[in-house]
Amino acid sequence: QKEVEQDPGPLSVPEGAIVSLNCTYSNSAFQYFMWYRQYSRKGPELLMYTYSSGNKEDGRFTAQVDKSSKYISLFIRDSQPSDSATYLCAIPTGNQFYFGTGTSLTVIP
Amino acid sequence: SQTIHQWPATLVQPVGSPLSLECTVEGTSNPNLYWYRQAAGRGLQLLFYSVGIGQISSEVPQNLSASRPQDRQFILSSKKLLLSDSGFYLCAWHSGNNNEQFFGPGTRLTVL
C-alpha cells in the first residue's frame, strides 16, 4: 500500500464552482499535511500546510484533515481559471516527503 | 528570503551522452537537498537526497548519480543517458527545522 494515494482526475469545473481535492494516507502517525499547486511546466509551490486534525483556511482555500479516516482534503471556493493546475498532497516524515500523484484541475471560464 | 535556482531550464540530449544538472539555494544554511523526477502524467519520484556536504542517499537504483560539493549546491549527473531518463527534474530544499519543502523551477530533459 502506498503511503499517500490521490485521485489523478482530471477534474474539470465551471468558473465559480466549489472544488474538492482529496488524498488518503496509510500511516496514522502522520501529523503534518501539505498541499502544493503546480502550474504546467513549473515547479510545485507550497499552497497550504496543516498540522494534525481540523481545518485551515486561507482566502478561497481550505485544507481539512480527518485523522480518524486518514483523509485529507483541499477545498477551493469560487474557483477561477487561474486555479487551473495540478494539485499535489504531501506528507513529511523525517527527512523524506511522501507525495500524491497529483490531481489535474481545469476551471472553465 | 530563500531562493532556489536550477539550470538549464530545458535540455535535449542524445542517448549515451553525459548529463549535469545544477541546483543552488540562496538565503539558508545547511539545507536538506533533494532531486526528484516527474515523468509526464506521473507523480514525483525521489531520486536522491542530501543532509550535508558529501552525504548522498540514493532512493532508486539507476544510471544517475548526485553530488553535493558545497553546502548549497546539488548536482545531478549521468555518464550515459537512456531514453527513460527523459522527464522533468526538480530540485527541492528543506530546512530541517520545519516541515516545509520548497521546489526549484525544474529542468525539462528530453533524451532522443
Question: Could you write out the DSSP letters of every residue in B16-73?
Answer: T--EEEEEEEES-SS-EEEEEEE-TTS-EEEEEEEEETTEEEESS-SSEEEEEEETTE
Sign of CA dihedral A85, A91, A96, A100: negative
**Whether A2 contacts chain B with CB within 8 A:** no
Name the band, by pLDDT with cuts 50, 70 and 90, for residue B31: very high
Cis peptide before B8 (omega within 30 of 0): yes
Give the cell for residue A44. Answer: 510545485
Find the CB nearest B43 among A32, A34, A100: A100
pLDDT digits (tens, 9 = 90+) for A64-81: 999 999 999 999 999 999
pLDDT digits (tens, 9 = 90+) for B52-64: 999 999 888 678 9
Q: Alpha-carbon distance B42 to B3, whole Å?
A: 26
pLDDT digits (tens, 9 = 90+) for B71-109: 999 999 999 999 999 999 999 999 877 778 999 999 999
pLDDT attached to residue A52: 82
> Residue A71 half-sphere exposure, CB side, CA atoms within 13 Å?
8
**pLDDT over 80 (residue B13):** yes
Compute the mean pLDDT over every residue in chain B, rounded to the nearest whole number. 92
Name the band, by pLDDT with cuts 50, 70 and 90, for residue B110: very high
Averaged pLDDT, A92-104? 91
Q: Alpha-carbon distance A108 to B15, whole Å?
A: 40
pLDDT attached to residue B42: 75
Considering only CB atoms, which chain B residues are within 8 Å of A49? 99-100
CB-based contact A43 B51, cutoff 8 Å: no
Name residues 18-37 of chain B within 8 A of A (Cβ).
Answer: 32, 34
Residues 6+ apart with CB under 8 A from A4: A23, A24, A25, A26, A89, A90, A91, A98, A99, A100
Name residues 15-74 of chain A within 8 A of B (Cβ).
Answer: 32, 34, 36, 41-46, 49
Which of B42, B99, B109 should one mutate to test binding to chain A, selecting the residue with the greatest count of A CBs within 10 A?
B99
The total number of residues written for chain A in this structure: 109
pLDDT digits (tens, 9 = 90+) for A14-36: 999 999 999 999 999 999 999 99
SS3 state at A32: strand
Find the CB nearest A99 among B44, B100, B104: B44
pLDDT attached to residue B61: 65
pLDDT attached to residue B40: 73
Name which residue leads in pLDDT, B39 or A15.
Answer: A15
**Whether B106 contacts chain A with CB within 8 A:** yes
pLDDT attached to residue B112: 96
